[in-house]
Structure formats: C-alpha cells, structure tokens
A and B are shown apart, each in its own frame.
Chain A
Amino acid sequence: MSWDVAISRAVQNNLPRVYKNLENFPYVLDLARQLREAKMEVIRNMEKYVEMTVESVKRIGGIPHVVNTVDEARDVVGKIVGTGKTVIFGKSMVAYEMGLRDFLKERNNEVWETDLGEFLIQLANEPPSHIIAPAVHMSKERAEHLVRDKLGDLRKGATHEEIVNKVREFLREKFLKADIGITGANAVAADTGSIILVENEGNIRFTTVSPPIHIAVAGFEKIVPTLYHAMIEALVQAAYAGLYPPTYINLTSGPSSTGDIEMKRVSPAHGPKEFHLILLDNGRLDASKNPDLMEALLCIRCGRCHLHCPVYRVMGGRWGIPPFTGPMGAMWSYVTHKDPKPATLCTHSGGCKEVCPMKINIPRVLEKIKHVYFKRS
C-alpha cells in the first residue's frame, strides 16, 4: 500500500472519530484547558518539579533516576537490566529516543516490543511513521506477509483478527517469561510519584505487572503537578488520539505490595518487586527556559496535528527525526537533537494549531526554529 492510500485512510478513519469524541464528551475540552495550565506551571518551574517527583517516587518505594542525556539513560538502564535477560517494551517514544531497544539487544538481551504497531515495525526493522500508529504505513497484506515470514504458521489470506491472534500467541509467552518490562509514561504525578499510562491493547498493563522489574522512562515534560492532572492527561490524550473512553488507564505507584498477613506491608506481591522511574532531560530543561520553544513541551503526543498537516500527509515519517515526526516532530527534532532543519519545511498551513488540544502555536514555534536555522548557517 502506498503512503498516499495509507494516510488518506488514516485521515478518513481518525478525524471523524476525534470530532465525535469532543462532541459526545464536551467536558474533555475543559479538561484540556486545565491540563494546559498545569503543564505550563511545570514548564515554568521544571527543576522544582523534577525534585518533587524524585522525592515522591522514593516515598512510595520506587527508585528514581534523573539523567541528562540519552547516553546516561542507556547506562542506567544497562545496569538495571544486565545481559541475557528477556525484556518487553510497552510503547514508548522516550525509549526510542534513548535507543533502548537496540542498545539492550547489543548487550545480549532478548527484546520484544509488545504494542502491535511497534512489534510490526520491529519485525520489519523500520522506523515508526506516526507517533500513535507507528505502523500506519503498513497494509494488512504486508503485515500478514511479515508475520508469516518471521513467526511462521499463518495461513495465506489471513484476516486482521488472525494476524493479531498470531502475534498475541507469540507474545503471551514473552510476557510470562520477561525479566524486565519497560514502558513510557503519559504523565508523572509530582505529588505522588505515580505514573499514568493509557492504552487500548492491554500490552502495557501486562508489561507493567508481569515482569519482576518495571522501568518507566519519561521526559521531564511528562511531569504534572498532581495525580489529578495525570489522570486528566490520560483522558485528554485518549480523546484526541481517537478512542474514548480508552480501554485501559494504568496507574502505577511504586512496586507491588501486600499487607494481607498481619497487616504488615511486604513487597512484592504479584506485580514487580522493583519500580524504576528514569526522568530524561535531553534538551527539555533548555527548552523550558526558552520562551520561543517552551510551548513545544506542552505536547501530549496525541498525534492529531499530524493528520491535519499537508506536509506530513505527503512526507509521513520522513519529516523529522524518528520518533519525532510531523508538526510536533519538527519542534521536537530541535528540542532533543538541536536539529532545526525539519522546521524549515513548515508551510504554516495552521490546521495543527487549530486542533492541538494543548493549543500550541506550532507554526510560530517552528518559525522561531527556522530563525535559528538561518542564524546558524
């Protein structure tokens, strides 16, 4: 399937769904407004909120790590994981930003993506083409061929359901034997140290609970002041991404425990015995202090700006540095890689800023990044 066909189908399927969500659940608009304010508060005082989060994570028995660069992040994760382990990933853009999958593989670990889209592009060894639908460029036929080729035993002309079932069977065993689960976080609550993850497949729930160690990786900008705001973020992200209510919202506050024998709290119970939260800077703190860039940090990764953007509709994942593609990716390629070039392709169509739940004036942010490009050259 050509990118043209793939993206028109995605637009036709997704846009009406999001508009319907906002019509049927209009309170989401109000939640989005509250969330913007809460996130702005953190952006203005980022260091303070990072510290607060660290303290809160410790208080609930988790192990916080604050890292400046992706190299430091890999170091920390490498030490926790070691070698010869089975590692499963929930879907995480920050894990991709850190290059964790390849890094852990190189260190002799068996590594599996568990989100279906991510799993497919892992099998195909391709970069993601959209932030919430990483395999949006792949047709059913291609997915079928790929799954048969790599996992075997799938009939020719298999249905969507049969392909998904094949992957489910294959991954079921990995979930059970995994030593470490690595997820991202849609939001991190500074007041409680909890993380929130929103999803529809159930793979993230498995990843956070089944292995004995859970590592969550998140950028500084994912911190929100309170658990209330973290819950809001999950709802807003889901509605604007297209599926509302979301099938699962996972809340994790430290390792699992039980107090069922004499009310003495012991850890672990059924879930992980260790919970690590890795908070990554990689340009975010700088961006938070730069009035031209700070709005980019409001992004909640709903993927809506992509579908309203004529440049993304033509270029797809080729626009930006994966996983940062599309209008948000043109901003984030600069935040995290200091690369201003993707911004120069913005044609200020402006649909992005109209539909962004965080009301980020994306074309204006990109204009400032273009300015950096010309100042540098």
Chain B
Amino acid sequence: MEGLRSLLLESLSRYGMPFPVDKKVCSSWTNELPRNGSTIIFTSCMYQIEPVVPILSKFGPYTGILRGVASLAKMVKPPKEELERAYRILNNIVKAIKRKGVDLAYLYEEEPYSGAVLLEMGMLDEFAEHARKVSEMLKERGITRVITVDPHTHNALKRYEEFVKFDVEVVSYLEVIDPSKKVEGGFTIHDSCLYSRFLNLREKYRSLILNSGISLKEDFFVTGRETSTCCGGPIGGVDPKLSEEIAKRRASELNRLSDKLLVVCPICYVTLSPHFKGEVKDVAEVIL
C-alpha cells in the first residue's frame, strides 16, 4: 500500500484530486454561481467523479487504478448520462439552497478536494497537511461557511478542527433545504454510515423524505441505526473484492424490503446500483 500512498499524493498534487481527472469534469455542472462569496457549495467533485470509480476498480485496487490511468488524465471521465445525472443533482441542490435565501458561491476548478480518502484510509499526517492547505485557502478567500453535498466531504471537513485551526462553519445541504416536490410512493432507504452513525444527520434526512410524502419501508434489522451496514464502497480502494461482496449482501437485504431504493451518498449509489434489483435514486433527485 506504500505505492498507493505515493500515487494518491502524486495525483493530489498534480490534479488536486485523488484520481487523475480533468478539473473541468468537476466544475462544468454550473456557470451561474459567482466565484466569490463568504458561503460556498463544496462538492469535492464527489458526485461528478464517483461514477468512474467502479470502472476503474475493475483494474484492481487503487494502486492498479492509478498506475493504469495516471498518464491518461483526460480519459478518466464518467459516461455521459451519469455525468448529466450528477450535474442535475448538484443543480437541484443549489436551487433548493437558493430558495432558502442563501447567497451561494462556487470555486469552480479551484475548488479543493476535501482529503476524505486520506482520512478514511488512515493517512493522518497527509490528511493534516491537506487540511492545512485547504483551510488556508478558504481563509484567504474570506470563506466563512461551506455547504457540503455528500457525507464523505462533510465528515472530512467536520474533522479538520482536530488537525488544524479551522474557523469555517460546515453544514450539509440537508440541514439547509426543504423538499420541493410532493412525491408519492414507497422506497426503502440505505443510510450513509457517516451521516447515520457519525454525523447525526440520520433523522434530518428522514424527516425531509417523509415531508415530501414518501413512505419509507423500514425494518429494524435492516435499516435500523445500529443494524444497518455500510455499502462496502469506502473499502473499494483497498480490497475491491471485499467491497463487492459487502455490496452484494447489502443490496439483497434491502431488496427484501423494496425494489425502490433511496440513497444519500454518491458512493452508496455507485456501489449498490449494480447489485440492487430495481431502481436506485439519490434523495436529491427525488425530493428536489
């Protein structure tokens, strides 16, 4: 895994992302937001880039991925319809935030990566260094509040203060918005581990979902706070086979409850989609 570390770091310094990626892929979802402002949306390119991860995973663990594509940066591009979907989700979120009267800015290609993968893999020294750079950059730009759109970024930024001085307020879009559609029908739900068991947002999005009119099909032993489990996605870089196995099991448990599944995280979406029999939707494309 030493190779993995150096490749991650190399990629971060060359592309600003843990994968070699053209930053335009990350930023082309909007051109309507100002570049400057004290409150920004912080996407960390998670929705945009996540759809390529399963394709890359086929080459083996991260090391393999990065070796295989390091010289082909521009080719690490999600399929068109997946990218359009990701862009749609982000625009839905921005509209919902704006409806609440928030002046929102976006850093476009200059938006840094959160460092989530470093933190979650336990590369804590590198994470601290990354956090230092990001927090300095945000400070220089007068940013006092960031609104995150995915659990991994939210978790990483929330933990900056353990590693560096960080005065920026971090909120999730789920804490800002209201549902904007009335939706009929039932879904089951796969919780994000981080939102549900680490960041205390589980009830927040459950109430948004219920307010939209959706009925949630829950089972204490499948979707309970203590009993639900990870989709397997976060371990994909270290052990893709283990990750797949976990995803398969999780999807089949959820299928026992419904053939319509709501997720709240782009990693859960790409990890569970191939195994879940039925429809998988992100909450932001259903209630917004």
Contacts and interface: CB of A to CB of B under 8 A. Distances in A.
Contacts of B234: 347-348
A103 interface: no
B125 A375 contact: yes
B235 interface: yes
Contacts of A315: 242
B229 A367 contact: no
Contacts of A348: 120, 193-194, 198, 230, 234
A329 to B, nearest CB: 16
Contact of A314 (B125, B238, B245): B245
B121 A345 contact: no
Interface in A331-377: 343-351, 353-355, 363, 366-371, 373-375, 377
A346 to B, nearest CB: 8
Contacts of B225: 354
Contacts of A377: 1-2, 5
A307 to B, nearest CB: 9
A132 interface: no
Contact of A15 (B119, B221, B230, B250): B221
B107 interface: no
A69 B249 CA distance: 40
A44 interface: no
Contacts of B227: 15, 308, 351
B231 to A, nearest CB: 8
Contact of B122 (A16, A350, A354, A373): A373
Contacts of B121: 344, 370, 374
Nearest to A364: B198
A354 B226 contact: yes
Interface in A213-260: none
Interface in A135-191: none
A377 B105 CA distance: 41
Interface in B205-250: 221, 225-230, 232-235, 238-239, 242-243, 245-246, 249-250
Interface string B170-210: 00000000000000000000000110111000000000000
B126 to A, nearest CB: 8
Interface residues of A, number: 32
Contacts of A16: 221
A61 interface: no
Main SS of the interface on chain A?
helix
Given A310-B250, A311-B246, A369-B122, A349 B1 contact: no
Interface in A298-331: 308-311, 313-315
B226 A308 contact: yes
Nearest to A15: B221
Contact of A371 (B122, B232, B246): B122
A328 B235 CA distance: 18
A19 to B, nearest CB: 8
B123 interface: yes
B257 to A, nearest CB: 16
B228 A345 contact: no
Interface in A20-35: none
Nearest to B236: A347
A370 B124 CA distance: 9
A314 B270 CA distance: 20
A313 B242 contact: no
A368 B162 CA distance: 13
A371 B193 contact: no
Contact of B198 (A311, A313, A347, A350): A350
Interface of B: 1-2, 5, 119-125, 193-194, 196-198, 221, 225-230, 232-235, 238-239, 242-243, 245-246, 249-250
7 contacts: A311-B246, A344-B122, A347-B232, A349-B229, A351-B226, A354-B225, A368-B124
Given A348-B234, A369-B122, 4 more contacts: A310-B249, A314-B242, A350-B230, A368-B124
